[in-house]
Amino acid sequence: VEELLDHVNTVQKRGIYEEYEDIRRETPPGTFNCSLQPYNQQKNRYGDVLCLDQTRVKLKSLNHDERTDYINASFMDGYKQKNAFIGTQGKGYYLQPIVNLCGKDFILLHRKLLITQPYFDFGRKKCGQYWPLEQHTQGNYGLISVRNMSVEIFKHYNKTTLEIRNGETYEGRKVIHFQYLSWPDYGVPSSAAALIDFRSAVRRQQELCVRAVSGGWRGHPGGPPILVHCSAGIGRTGTLCTLDICLSQLQDVGTLNVYQTVRRMRGQRAFSIQTPDQYYFCYTAIIEHAQRQHLLPTNH
């Protein structure tokens, strides 16, 4: 019986791998012109991880041209929420994402959206340290200073409140930063339950932020975009955003569709979900979650 179960699981796994291969064969529905410009190459952490022109996040630049408004970041829709996330690469060019997303240019562009922005980061490897780890210390990164106001340490993640200030204009932003600690690149998280708890913590934080602003977040009832990054901003970032969308849908209507979610996501942040195992993980994590919530029997 065990062998049979193993076999069934292998067949299902293979089916899901094939489903992922179908997705991977699709041509991205857009262009990468801006990412490919020679003057923008240095801003891509990885030469083969480009971002679609149609959904890229544009910095507000003084001369409005794509030499200065480009960063490797994309708007991504969430469940029933437009631009619920910004998916981006880890620190690299000019300390992305802190400087680019919280620096002067981004503050100008998104000042209405980016006051308390939960955002999270997984795995420090392959991403330079861009905020001070110790409470009440400050790091200076060029014009930008980042102060660690407080840290809470949990088993699988850290939650840090940062104050980011532009040294020229003295504009500041409070950022709630969630860092997931056990997820190697190309890999899958060591525990689905831990990652789902992490997602719940971020969602709770986002709700607090939204509730703190009466009447919704200026036309954004779901709150400002949550910035999600890893190293390239596609593998782990795509996996987490897929889980978030599918779990929200499951909670809302009792069904979900991993395949369509990932296809749509790859139309906004190209190459989202990097390996067949990450794709398969989305399924197993959702099933595990549904079982924990008693939405599914445990003995199937």
Is 230 a known active-site residue? yes
Could you give the dihedral angle defined by the CA atoms of residues 281, 282, 287 and 290, in that order, rounded to the nearest 10 degrees? 140
> Binding pattern to ligand PTR, positions 96-115, x when CB under 6 A?
--------------------
Interface with ligand PTR includes 266 (CB under 6 A)? no
278 contact partners, CB below 8 Å, separation of at least 6: 188, 235, 236, 238, 239
Report whether 87 contacts 74 (CB < 8 A): yes
Question: What secondary structure letter does DSSP report for 40?
Answer: G
Report whether 68 contacts 74 (CB < 8 A): no
From the list 3-11, 41-49, 58-66, 142-150, the region that binds ligand PTR by CB under 6 A is 41-49
How many Cβ atoms from other residues are within 10 Å of residue 106's Cβ? Answer: 24
218 contact partners, CB below 8 Å, separation of at least 6: 112, 113
Interface with ligand PTR includes 92 (CB under 6 A)? yes
Interface with ligand PTR includes 73 (CB under 6 A)? no
Interface with ligand PTR includes 277 (CB under 6 A)? no
Q: Which is nearer to ligand PTR, 91 or 147 (CB)?
A: 91
Out of 34, 49, 101, 196, name the contact with ligand PTR by CB under 6 A.
Answer: 49
Shortest spacing between CB 189 and ligand PTR, in angstroms? 11
Q: Which is nearer to ligand PTR, 2 or 48 (CB)?
A: 48
CA 231 to the chain's CA centroid: 11
Interface with ligand PTR includes 232 (CB under 6 A)? yes
Out of 185, 197, 277, 288, name the contact with ligand PTR by CB under 6 A.
Answer: 185
Interface with ligand PTR includes 128 (CB under 6 A)? yes
Size of the site for ligand PTR (CB under 6 A): 21
Report whether 279 contacts 187 (CB < 8 A): no
Q: Which of 127, 230, 241, 282 is catalytic?
A: 230
Interface with ligand PTR includes 127 (CB under 6 A)? yes
H or E element, residue 127: none
Q: Which is nearer to ligand PTR, 217 or 281 (CB)?
A: 281
H or E element, residue 252: helix 235-253
Interface with ligand PTR includes 32 (CB under 6 A)? no
Shortest spacing between CB 192 and ligand PTR, in angstroms? 17
State the chain's maximal CA–CA distance in angstroms: 69
Nearest to 95 by CA among 64, 132, 50, 63: 132
Interface with ligand PTR includes 235 (CB under 6 A)? yes
CA 256 to the chain's CA centroid: 20
Shortest spacing between CB 261 and ligand PTR, in angstroms? 17
Can you give the length of the chain in residues? 300
Q: Which is nearer to ligand PTR, 116 or 261 (CB)?
A: 261
From the list 46-54, 72-80, 207-215, 292-300, the region that binds ligand PTR by CB under 6 A is 46-54
Q: Is there a cis peptide before residue 276, judged by omega within 30 degrees of 0?
A: no
β-bridge mates for residue 70, sequence order: 58
Task: Return residues touching ligand PTR (CB under 6 A).
Answer: 46, 48-49, 90-92, 125-128, 185-186, 230-237, 274
Positions marked catalytic: 230
